[in-house]
Chain A
Amino acid sequence: MPDKPKVAFYWCASCGGCEEAVVDLAEKILDVVAAVDIVFWPVALDFKKSDVEAMEDGSILASFVNGAIRTTEQEEMALLLRRKSKVLVAFGSCAHLGGIPALANLWDREAIFDTAYRTTASTVNPEGTLPQVSLAHNGDRVHLPGFYNTVRALDQVTEVDYYIPGCAPTPNIIAGAVETLLGGDLPPAGTVLTPDIALCEDCPRLDTKPQELTIERFRRPHEVIADEGTCLLAQGLLCMGPATRSGCGHLCINGNMPCTGCFGPTSKVRDQGAKYLSAIASMLGFEDEAAIDRALDGIPDPVGTFYRYGLAGSLLRRRKMTPVDA
């Protein structure tokens, strides 16, 4: 018993899908529970933060953290688990790259409030009331927690050793990663614990992908009935396969839909969106500006498409873009 490796799970700003992903280990979860000593998992087990605080630094073998970081509370927990763990693992797209909720980074708080509380169709709010952090109400003083102002990936807050990608990560990837970590033969820090090849490279439809892919016009998924056996790019559908890491088991492809890139880029690529744009360049002939514009017509939302999961962690986010010619 005392020799079983200690493991912790924690969630930050998460939709709960990553926790479901662990539950989706289904019967296998009983093996994991048998092999390790789970010292912290707020969703399922009753251990306290103070128990973790009392542990010796570095005494947890691995902590798995999912969700992005948005509050001081989450940042604190991330730092605490960092200190107590030999290995800190960013689990899922949100922890890895920021995830879909980081698309909120495209707006500011006022805009979000205005939409949510004033302009949405079913809201009836003639006085334009907004939630207040502190207000006197019928003589009572009521407080609401305030807003925090960033959506960050885990490694923008503290040092991360390994990444388990995916929105959500798939059971095979999770099981494989846990096995690797327990096996003791640790890969170099910074490794994403999945195959380091592009999704295209082991795609069941690879045989139908032309060597020289030329695309005149991208088509949106609702505009075509996609053939179930043919490379989606070859059918003009924007599949993120060329710029996305393999490992999910080609789930979306098997669902006959293009990959949207949730596993993030391979290790050779720093920025998935930029990589994809360059891939498009090669498909269209990059010097030709008219061709780019034509391509963008079929891709009406480049940010939401190329940075669907990666806005918080991308170079764009780091550069802190400002309005371009406002």
Chain B
Amino acid sequence: MSEEMTTQEAWHQGSQGAKAAYARRRITVDPITRLEGHGKIDIFLDQAGEVERAYFQVPELRGFEKFAEGRPAEDMPQITSRICGVCPTAHHMAATKTLDALYKVDPPPAAKKIRELVYSAFMAEDHLLHFYFLGGPDFVVGPEAPAAQRNILGVIATVGEETGRQVIAMRRRLREIITMVGGKVIHPVLGLPGGVAKRVTAEQQTEIRRTAADAVEFARFTLDLFRKVVLGNPGYVELILSDAFTHRTYYMGVMDEKNRPNFYDGQIRVVSPEGGEWAKFAPADYLDYVAEHVEPWSYVKFCYLKPFGWQGFTDGMESGIFSVAPLARLNAADAMSTPLAQEAFEEMYATLGGKPVHHTLANHWARVVEVLNATERLKELADDPELIDPNVRTLPTETPREGVGVVEAPRGTLFHHYVTDSRGIIEKANLIVATQNNSARMAMSVEKAAKGLISKGVVSEGILNKVEMAFRAYDPCHACATHSLPGSMPLVVEVHGPAGETLSRLRRDSDGSLHRE
């Protein structure tokens, strides 16, 4: 075999082969792209020193849609997962479902159950990560606590080391399910058009069932903790309800036939700011409903509901701006699909004054409701005898051309859309990630927070934290896009006078250090 060649020979032969291959395919290799890693806020003041306009920019563009071109479609589940290593399973699953649509192939029942099982485990562990470690510090440790304590260690200090260990152990066990069934947990490999790469054995099912049962218990514990720590503190409740974090937008989520959220599959439902159903549509029709708007001052595109046209950054019935993620999903739903989650859902809306809830910070609560839902669903699937059916693949026979796949990522609706040639090589890809769906509303939140907090041209350093809270509740993925977690998102705030001159500049680096320039 090749092992018997000297390295030099192997190299020589290989490089000739490579050259020939590339010559036939005319590849140009040219350097590129990554942006400076600071989120950026530009604030413009009027003559009186009040905020006229604030721009929130996330310098995020990695070009995945471009470098998908030329790749075989079946590689997309593994390539697009590298968009995010915190939620790789969401991209993996959206891509896999897109392949089903592309090849017009329906996976066998066991394959669907295996996928949803993996997806439920992922949803639960990711939400737990957010609740305890990412967004949690704001609430569990407290919004006013010094930055040095608003981190994982601060959470552990508050909830106790024993609980801290339990969180770690629970996440590990949920993630072990993904490794066992999906090959790898960071960038899984199970997805193929028409099914999954391997079956689940009876032995594995026994272990999964054990983890699932414990996960439901842990989710209950988490809800109790949320009640105690957050709802038990009137200050926090007031903060959730405060106007600075409130917008009356449309809400979107993937629902089952009874309009209950389903993270893995279903139709997309949109409700209006008044709570009524505005549309319910199949993923393949998404282009009739969702559009992306480009602003010259941001690398992030802004999604809106297409029939309204782009109306600018405004909320209300006439604006097409919508929101996704846990709160939006619950707002878009009539009920939850599992009993404990249903109870928690009712409690939340009873406390916050009915549906829809427009307070962004209620996302933290909605997330806990979803932890219950995900773990209960996990348990249902784990207990299902059909899970271990060996038939987990339907081989595609159709010629591929175009497909759309949608899942609910922890941070909201995620769209993948590929067009291929007849060999299944990507010609065009379109990806709308959860964060983009929220970006218009997020920009509004930041402007609102700036207007509420800045007066007479005085900008305190505290504005950074408050402004940051305005978008952290939506989505730590933004932080992830710029490579940082709460309290350390690199951020530049520039304040400009009426003539455009820079009055002050605050910069916080990724290491958390603050600079006034």
Interface residues of chain A, those whose CB is within 8 Å of chain B, are 11, 13-21, 24, 26-27, 29-30, 40, 42-50, 67-68, 70-74, 99-101, 103-109, 111-112, 115-117, 119-125, 129-132, 135, 137-151, 167-168, 211-213, 220-226, 228, 242, 251-252, 254-257, 260, 268-271, 273-282, 286, 289, 292, 296, 300-306, 311, 315-317, 320-326
Docked CA distance A305–B21 (Å): 12
- Establish whether residues B1 and A282, one from each chain, have CB atoms under 8 Å apart when the complex forms: yes
What chain B residues lie within 8 Å of A15 (beta carbons)?
Answer: 82-86, 88
A27:B172 contact, CB within 8 angstroms: yes
**What are 14 residue pairs bridging A and B, where the CB atoms are less than 8 Å apart in the complex?**
A16-B480, A24-B172, A24-B175, A43-B484, A46-B512, A148-B35, A167-B187, A168-B187, A222-B99, A277-B15, A282-B5, A324-B27, A325-B23, A326-B26
Q: Is B411 an interface residue (CB 8 A)?
A: no
Q: How far is the CB of A200 from chain B (nearest CB, A)?
A: 10
A104 and B488 alpha carbons, distance in the complex (Å)? 27
Chain B residues whose C-beta falls within 8 Å of the C-beta of A324 in the assembled complex: 22-23, 26-27
Known: A16-B86, A222-B194, A255-B189. 16 other contacts (CB 8 A): A17-B88, A30-B165, A104-B33, A112-B63, A112-B66, A115-B66, A124-B293, A131-B295, A142-B42, A143-B42, A144-B57, A221-B74, A251-B179, A256-B183, A277-B13, A324-B22
B190 and A260 within 8 A (CB): no
Q: Are B7 and A167 in contact (CB under 8 A)?
A: no
Whether the pair B36, A16 counts as a contact (CB closer than 8 A) is no
Which of chain B's residues have a CB closer than 8 A to the CB of A268? 7
Q: How far is the CB of A240 from chain B (nearest CB, A)?
A: 12
Q: Quick one: which of B66, B172, B186 contacts A104, CB cutoff 8 A? A: B66
B193 surroundings in chain A (CB, below 8 A): 222
A296 to B151 Cα, complex, angstroms: 50
Closest Cβ–Cβ distance, residue B176 to chain A (whole Å)? 9
Residues on the B chain within 8 Å of A148, using CB: 33-36
Interface size class of B (residues with CB under 8 A): 35 or more
Which listed residue (B11, B25, B82, B423) contacts A274, Cβ 8 A? B11
Check A16 against B84 for contact (C-beta < 8 Å). Answer: yes
10 nearest A-B pairs in the assembled complex, by CB-CB distance: A255-B183, A17-B85, A70-B34, A274-B14, A145-B36, A278-B14, A256-B198, A321-B29, A15-B85, A277-B17
Contact residues, B373-428 vs A (CB, 8 A): 393, 395-396, 415, 417, 423-425, 428
Q: How far is the CB of A286 from chain B (nearest CB, A)?
A: 6
Say whether, besides A112-B33, A251-B183, A101 and B297 are in contact (CB < 8 Å): no
**In whole angstroms, what is the CA distance A129 to B13 when docked?**
47
Contact at B169–A27, with CB atoms within 8 Å? Answer: yes
| Contacts A48-B513, A257-B183 given; does A150 touch B298 at CB 8 Å | no
**B350 part of interface (Cβ distance < 8 Å):** no
Contact of B189 among A107, A252, A276, A281 (CB under 8 A): A252
- Interface residue ranges of B359-377 to A (CB < 8 Å): none
Does residue B301 face the partner (Cβ distance < 8 Å to A)?
Answer: yes
Contact B301 A16 (CB under 8 A): no
Question: Given the interface contacts A14-B483, A225-B395, does A274 sit within 8 Å of B61 by beta carbon?
Answer: no
* Distance to closest chain A CB from B198 (angstroms): 4
For the complex, give the distance between the alpha carbons of A106 and B188 in Å: 25
Whole-angstrom distance from the CB of A74 to the nearest CB of chain B?
Answer: 8
Write the nearest CB–CB distance from B220 to chain A, whole angstroms. Answer: 22
When chains A and B are docked, how far (Å) is the Cα of A252 from the Cα of B185? 11
Q: A270 and B11 in contact (CB under 8 A), knowing A281-B2, A324-B22?
A: yes
**B residues 77-129 in Cβ contact with A at 8 Å:** 78-79, 82-86, 88, 99, 103
Q: How far is the CB of B208 from chain A (nearest CB, A)?
A: 16
Does B472 reach chain A (CB closer than 8 Å)? no
Taken together as a complex, chains A and B put the C-alpha atoms of A234 and B186 apart, in Å, by 27
Minimum Cβ distance to chain A for residue B121 (Å): 14
A27 with B168: CB separation less than 8 A: yes
In the assembled complex, B40 has its CB within 8 A of some CB on chain A: yes
* Contact B192 A123, beta carbon cutoff 8 Å: no
Residues in chain B near residue A121, CB distance under 8 A: 287, 417, 428, 430
Interface assignment of B203: CB less than 8 Å from any CB of chain A: no
Interface 1/0 per residue, B36-67 and A, CB below 8 Å: 11101010100000000101010101110111
